[in-house]
Amino acid sequence: MPHSAPGLDAVTTMGGFLLVLSLVVPVAGVLVAFVAGGRHVERVAFATMPLGFAIAVAILIALWRTGGPLAYLLGGWTPPLGVALRADGLSAVMMMTTAVVICAVGVFAHVDFRTPPGSVEARAPFAFWILLLGIWGALNTVFLGGDLFTLYVALELVTFAAVPLVCLDGRAETLQAALRYLLFALLGSALYLVGTALLYGAYGTLDIVLLSHRVHAEPATLVAAALMTVGLLAKTALFPLHLWLPPAHAGAPAAASAVLSALVVKGSFFIVVRLWFDVMPGLPGFAAAQLLAAFGAAAIVFGSVIALRQERLKLVIAYSTLAQIGYLFLMFPLAFDPGSASLQSGGALTGGMLQAISHATAKAAMFMAAGLIYAGLGQDRIAGLAGVGRALPMSVLAFALGGVALIGVPPSGAYLAKELLLQAAVEAKQWWWTVVIQAGGIFTSSYVLVVLAHALLPAGEPVRLRVAVPLYQEAAALALALCSLLLGLVPWEAFLPVPRSIPSYPLALEALANALWPILAGGLLAIVLGRWGPQLMHIPFGKVLVAIVGPARRTVLALGGMLEQVDGMLRQWPAAGLSLLVLAILFGAVMLAAR
């Protein structure tokens, strides 16, 4: 993959200035907005967005035309002394995703965070637009940073911009959620920082390319790898380190939730990918990759089952994020090549990144749709959603399309991701991950179906919307959902390592049939595990259904209740802190044992 040509690492390539621009433009936006203040903040944000979007497109085109990674050496100093910015295919597609989501969120947030002429300048809009641009700049740094310390600073910037977004409305619960998020993220970044110190002490550089040539399996390196990985997992909220995620993502305003869930957790995930695939592909070994994916599998089960038991729409989506984060980590063992005993950048990596991109677009659309439903109804209890399908058809459609895209119906990006991961599982002869991947799809369809079933139920009397929902807000959500649904048609092989036998023809009948059975299975699961109120009696055969599935439902519900209790315990601060230490020790021990 990208860093194969050593000559390219030590020079600024053509188009390297684009990388600098992609950092400078959002940061300049933040500074100008900060100085301008008042009504101008939003204008500055809207002026920055097309610029940033154009730069992301330009980087994609430059990468496609040169065929190699772009690089820029700051001040012309070469790596062990200087700092390099590098953009390979992974960075470019993630930057493009970020640009698309941020622009859509900007359009969506125009109503909620505007300062109409004549009104007093409020703090929330001022903070929102500046933080939005701040997150953009910080994420671009994460995707472009060429050394581990730059990545640390970028990661902290992402966190510092994300935490205030959680508590924009200043309610006590959101302040608490923000503080928990900040403190736990700081714990994670401290572990990451210890890891960088160890690596610098051992090899005298933190540059990713130089390190990748120098690292070898010493105890200090492996301890550093374990600490950094676990620190990043805490920031990504991989189960069991997810204590901060549900309250933070569910409590924030809709536009902020969309950014937090779609992009912010991907920042730290991206650094895990950099660390495992680029810095030290040969070090973690088979067992550590299995362990990482095992936590991913646990996240899928816990996140999905608890999502099914939530009463509020935003919490369903927040727990769904938890499950989808687990899905992202399934690629690590599948990328492991036993021959060279290292992680290969191949189909599995592409599958994982595609999953991240699809989740980013789909989840942002779902959070926006949920926000519109909340604004329209004045509440977002799932049991009270009846009739909303008629009152807000476009929002519900956006939610449905986002959900369908996440489930992996062709031609969505998640479909392609699933195919690539399944193919990698067959090639690596790791059938157990096939089971987990399929189960993930089934779980996803179950909670999407529960919500849709409630939203499409007829209401006793027509729903009266509390506020009129502007058309372009719904259009922004719908556009993102469509984007996620059509991602499978993008020619990814220009940017990501796609194997030759790529599953094309996503519109073929066979592929559709393959995509259908997880939905049916998910429907069954939804019937057994979902929250159903008395409305079930109104649908045809509802009573028969209750009589048939009643006993099975009671058993499964008891199991679900147990999972929920375990989740409640794990989300206590001391338990989460201890899990963090235990995970660090586990990863260290597993890597040392495999040495």
Partner 1 sequence: MSAATVFGLCAAVAVGLGLYGLIVNPQPLRKILAFNLLGSGVFLFFGVVARRGAAAGFGGDPVPQALVITGIVVAFSATALAVALLLRLFQATNSATLRADAPASAGNDPTGA
Residue pointed to by tokens 């940033």 = 52
Q: Which residue of 171, 213, 464, 554 would you call a contact of partner 1, by CB under 8 A?
A: 171
Q: Which is nearer to partner 1, 157 or 481 (CB)?
A: 157
Helix spans in 380-497 (H): 388-391, 393-407, 413-427, 431-456, 471-485
Q: Which residue of 58, 82, 112, 556 would you call a contact of partner 1, by CB under 8 A?
A: 112
Look up residue 588 and give its two tokens: 């260290």
Q: Is 182 in the site for partner 1 (CB under 8 A)?
A: yes
Tell me how many degrees the CA angle 310-245-186 measures, rounded to the nearest 5.
165
Q: Is 35 in the site for partner 1 (CB under 8 A)?
A: no
Q: Is 34 in the site for partner 1 (CB under 8 A)?
A: no
Least distance between partner 1 and beta carbon 298 (Å): 19
Q: Which residue of 156, 218, 337, 427 would you call a contact of partner 1, by CB under 8 A?
A: 156
Least distance between partner 1 and beta carbon 528 (Å): 23
Q: Is 391 in the site for partner 1 (CB under 8 A)?
A: no
Q: Binding residues for partner 1, how many (CB under 8 A)?
A: 63
| 389-392, long-range: CB < 8 A, 24+ apart | 389/455, 389/456, 389/457, 390/458, 390/459, 390/462, 390/463, 391/462, 391/463, 391/464, 391/465, 392/465, 392/469, 392/474
Q: Which is nearer to partner 1, 10 or 183 (CB)?
A: 183
Look up residue 141 and give its two tokens: 């740094």
Q: Which residue of 34, 46, 53, 160 would you call a contact of partner 1, by CB under 8 A?
A: 160
Least distance between partner 1 and beta carbon 190 (Å): 5
Q: What is the largest CA-CA distance in the chain?
A: 74
Q: Which residue of 37, 50, 201, 561 would you call a contact of partner 1, by CB under 8 A?
A: 201
Q: Is 145 in the site for partner 1 (CB under 8 A)?
A: no
Look up residue 283 and give its two tokens: 């070090």
Least distance between partner 1 and beta carbon 408 (Å): 27
Q: Which residue of 459, 556, 577, 586 would you call a contact of partner 1, by CB under 8 A?
A: 577
How far is it, in rounded angstroms, from Cα 304 to Cα 201? 42
> Nearest 10 degrees: CA dihedral of 430, 433, 435, 436?
170
Q: Which is nearer to partner 1, 71 or 318 (CB)?
A: 318
Q: Which is nearer to partner 1, 472 or 573 (CB)?
A: 573
How far is it, in rounded angstroms, from Cα 219 to Cα 399? 48
Q: Is 384 in the site for partner 1 (CB under 8 A)?
A: no
CA torsion through residues 373, 375, 378, 380, sign = positive
How far is it, in rounded angstroms, from Cα 1 to Cα 437? 25
How far is it, in rounded angstroms, from Cα 184 to Cα 193? 14
Q: Is 474 in the site for partner 1 (CB under 8 A)?
A: no
Q: Which helix (H) or strand (E) holds 87?
A: strand 84-87
Binders of partner 1 in range 248-267 (CB under 8 A): 250-254
Q: Is 82 in the site for partner 1 (CB under 8 A)?
A: no
Q: What is the DSSP string of 94-113?
A: HHHHHHHHHHHHHHHHTTTT
Stretch that binds partner 1, among 17-25, 173-181, 288-296, 434-442 (CB under 8 A): 173-181
Least distance between partner 1 and beta carbon 477 (Å): 12
Stretch that binds partner 1, among 138-146, 153-161, 341-349, 548-556 (CB under 8 A): 153-161
Look up residue 21 and give its two tokens: 């621009």
Binders of partner 1 in range 315-374 (CB under 8 A): 315, 318, 370-372, 374
Q: Which is nearer to partner 1, 73 or 437 (CB)?
A: 73
Q: Is 586 in the site for partner 1 (CB under 8 A)?
A: no
Q: Is 179 in the site for partner 1 (CB under 8 A)?
A: yes
Least distance between partner 1 and beta carbon 193 (Å): 5
How far is it, in rounded angstroms, from Cα 394 to Cα 375? 14
For residue 165, which of 47, 95, 248, 93 has the smallest C-alpha distance? Answer: 248
Q: Is 200 in the site for partner 1 (CB under 8 A)?
A: yes
10 Å Cβ neighbour count for 90?
Answer: 25
* Interface positions with partner 1 (CB under 8 A): 111-112, 149, 152-153, 156, 160, 163-164, 167, 169-180, 182-183, 186-187, 190, 193-194, 196-197, 200-201, 204, 243, 246-247, 250-254, 310-312, 314-315, 318, 370-372, 374-375, 380, 467, 568, 571, 573-574, 577-578, 580-581
